[in-house]
Amino acid sequence: MQISTTQLGVLFSLAKCDHAPITAIADQLNMSYSSMSGVVDRMSKAELVRREKNRNDARVQNVILLPKGKALCEQSNLNVRNINRALLCEFSIEEQEIIARFLVHVAKNAEEIVCNDN
């Protein structure tokens, strides 16, 4: 089954924190609520996730990872690990740690780095 990188991001997010509000997933993936809502709708049709009203606040829509989505997430996680291993095999452990630190820095600061006028 082919899914988009955004859908994969949703699956990875839910694997860490299932039953998350759509707004939290949208924030994590730096997307608008309306865009995320469309992604979740498509994923629901594919039976990867489902929506559920929050028990404490009916205005909040939680996203629940379904078995098909969980299996796809696990397989994709394995594929990503294999790709990462192949990409990093030429580097020493110390170099891999530096690369990891750099990538974490970029991920945490990308918006500030890109938007900085300096």
Closest CA to 51 of 63, 39, 33, 41: 63
How far apart CA 76 and CA 20 sit, in angstroms, is 20
Give the per-residue pLDDT at 37: 93
Using 50, 70 and 90 to split pLDDT, how confident is the model at 1?
confident
49-101, pLDDT tens digit by residue? Answer: 999 998 888 889 999 999 999 999 999 989 989 999 999 999 999 999 999 99
Give the per-residue pLDDT at 117: 58
How far apart CA 41 and CA 53 sit, in angstroms, is 14
What is the set of domains in the chain, with CATH numbers? 5-88 (1.10.10.10)
Of 5-19, 23-37, 63-77, 100-114, which range is least confident? Answer: 100-114
